[in-house]
Structure 1
Amino acid sequence: MPEIDYQVARLKGGHRMCLLAEYATPGQSHEVHSHPQGQLYLAVQGLIVVESTGMRCMMPPGRMGWIPPYAPHGAVVHGSPNSDLVGYNIFLAPELCGKLPELPVVLRPSPLAHALIERMVSWEGGVPPDESGYRILDVLIDEIQRAEADPLRLTMPNHPRLQQMAAAIAEHPADETDLDRWAERLGLSRRSITRHFRAETGMSVVEWRQTARLQKGAEMLNAGESVTAVALTLGYDSVSSFIALFRRMLGVTPARFARGPVDPAQAEQQEAAA
């Protein structure tokens, strides 16, 4: 499987799609860039933080990201994967992207979507061997349309002063600075912050901070920190409250998440039995 190279054309030989393995090491980043192809990305190992058009989202193993054609985006790999393979990219010609979301998004793909990608990984050169390959791709696109959006997505506000607040929260999500203090710092009323922040991000400030905490917590767990240390560092009242929220939002406990990749269907069964 050829390694991805962001400096060369992704579709060759008249093919309308190509699957490429991505190899990276912890801390490696891709600077903000764009390309005319749509990009589906399946995370396999490590933890990937993606930023695109004012959105910051986290991709743990098993999640799938979607970047529409020409959308600017960048990414950073966190954690210590067991090998340098961190995921698979599927680049799509623009004419294949019409059914997929217009904005970047992280999704929870179905077991069928995972199985279809496993089939694609076996294709020589990462391209369909014949027209039946494109029929497999059509089914994958249908599955992506039905997939649920991942909850750990942060949209940055447009207002410059609200951006300043959001950036500070993302950097230090355990900081409990309240809205009255932020209003003083930013020169805005509490009501203006509340109204404009929700209108521009789709979340309240409390919900945004909660998601930022979980993103940061997932990064720390992936880097080897203990569940207790992560909960205390992020300012949770108790370890149990952190575990309960993490499980509700991500579908697995922090301990299960920290152990690394697992098939999503198996994870649900294991967590239900726990």
Structure 2
Amino acid sequence: MSSTQASDAPPASSAPTGPYRRMPLQPAGSVPVDFTSVGIAESLDTATRWPDHSHTVHELLWNDAGPSTLRAGPRTWTVTPTIGLWLPAGTVHSAEAPAGTAYRATYFSLEMAGEAARPLPTEPVSLRVTGLLRELLLRLGEESLNEHSRRLTETMVLDVLAPAPHQFLVHEPTAGLLQPIVAAVLADPSDVRSLGDWSRQLRVSERTITRAFRAETGLGFARWVGSVRVQRATTLLADGEPLEDIAEAMGYRSPSAFGAAFRKLTGTTPSSLRG
């Protein structure tokens, strides 16, 4: 997707291609830009990683196909064709995507965002990519769009942005006590050990483990494990994996049990997040 093309657009189409892409750290507003919005689109032939960087402008990410992940500090978000991500200017982040992913990014100048009818998120936040939002973003890529229509479309995009009911992220706690749990669950989300099992293994009370999880993530043990499973499942859904395989990989006895747990945690069905 390509809007007003500018020579100083963030990672414009002149960005180097390849599996490892270094980009600069730019504080918010540190580099003048001559656009109100600009977009890029790319289909990846190889698995690609972007190490820590930041943009001088705001970024809205979403995919045409496949999943990708973005990490900022201890938090990792999933991006798919149905789940986008709003990334405020200056946010230091890294990203990675497997081969076959087709991603899009639209950048908004601070001035354009400042004209939004309501305050925009000041932290990264998952967005549902609705049909309306998708069409508006695609419209910004039309070369024939005149200046009046462009500004109207930009205003509408910013007006319809809304956080997803469930934030498709995993907050990875750093407390030493929790590291055996974190390592085990991240390595294998199907790990079925309960809070009681971990309490006995680590020789601390269940309340101690729960307090440690809540202090860093705002979630108890079970909800945190659920967030890991949702994120991994969402990635597999976007990649077209069968529900039976996803359910098994996430530690559920059947697709129906997986679907029920997924709905409880996200308020939506697994099939609604297919790319």
State the TM-score bracket (shorter-chain normalisation).
Answer: 0.7 to 0.9
Q: State how far apart, in whole Å, the 2-side matches of 1:230 and 1:148 are.
A: 22
**Are 1:21 and 2:41 matched, yes or no?**
yes
Q: Cα–Cα, structure 1 residues 141 and 131, in superposed 2: closer, same or farther, change >3 Å?
A: same
Deviation at 1:174, TM superposition (A): 0.9
SS in structure 2 at match of 1:241 = helix
Match of 1:60 among 70, 80, 85: 80
CA RMSD of aligned residues (A): 3.1
Partner residue of 2:234?
A: 218
CA distance 1:192–1:19, change in 2 (3 Å): same
Amino acid across the alignment from 2:65: Q
- When normalised by structure 1's length, the TM-score is 0.77
User: What whole-Å deviation, never above 9, does each CA across 1:112-171 have from its counterpart, x for those lacking one?
Assistant: 2222112102136xxx74244223212211111x34344422222243433553343122
Alignment length (residue pairs): 250
- Where does residue 7 of structure 2 map in the other structure? none
- Per the alignment, residue 69 of structure 2 pairs with 49
Asked if 1:154 corresponds to 2:170, the answer is: yes
* Structure-2 separation of matches of 1:62 and 1:230: 18
Q: Indicate yes or no: 2:190 matched with 1:174.
A: yes
8 Å CA contact retained: 2:237, 2:270: no
Q: How do 1:109-124 and structure 2 match up within 5 A?
A: 109-123=129-143
Cα distance in 1 for partners of 2:215, 2:155 equals 35
The 5 A counterparts of 1:16-165 are: 16-25=36-45, 27-78=47-98, 80-81=100-101, 86-97=102-113, 99-123=119-143, 129-144=146-161, 146-163=162-179, 165=181
Mark the CA change 1:102 to 1:110 in structure 2 (over 3 Å): closer, same or farther.
Answer: same
> Does residue 1:230 correspond to 2:250, yes or no?
no
Q: Which has the higher helix share?
A: 1
**For 2:134, what is the secondary structure of its paired residue?**
helix
Q: Please give the TM-score of this superposition, normalised by the length of structure 2.
A: 0.76
Displacement after TM superposition at 1:246 (Å) = 3.5
Unaligned runs of 5+ in 1: 262-274
**1:107–1:150 Cα contact (<8 Å) kept:** no
The answer on whether the counterparts of 1:79 and 1:222 sit within 8 Å (CA) in structure 2 is no
Contact 2:165 2:267 in 1 (8 A): no
Q: Which runs of 5+ in 2 are unaligned?
A: 3-11, 16-21
Identity %: 24
Paired AA for residue 254 in structure 2: S
Determine whether 1:251 maps to 2:268: yes
Give the letter aligned to residue 198 of structure 1: R
Tell whether the 8 Å contact from 1:39 to 1:91 is kept in structure 2 after alignment. Answer: yes
**Matched residue of 2:65: which SS?**
coil
Indicate which of 182, 194, 212 corresponds to 2:210: 194
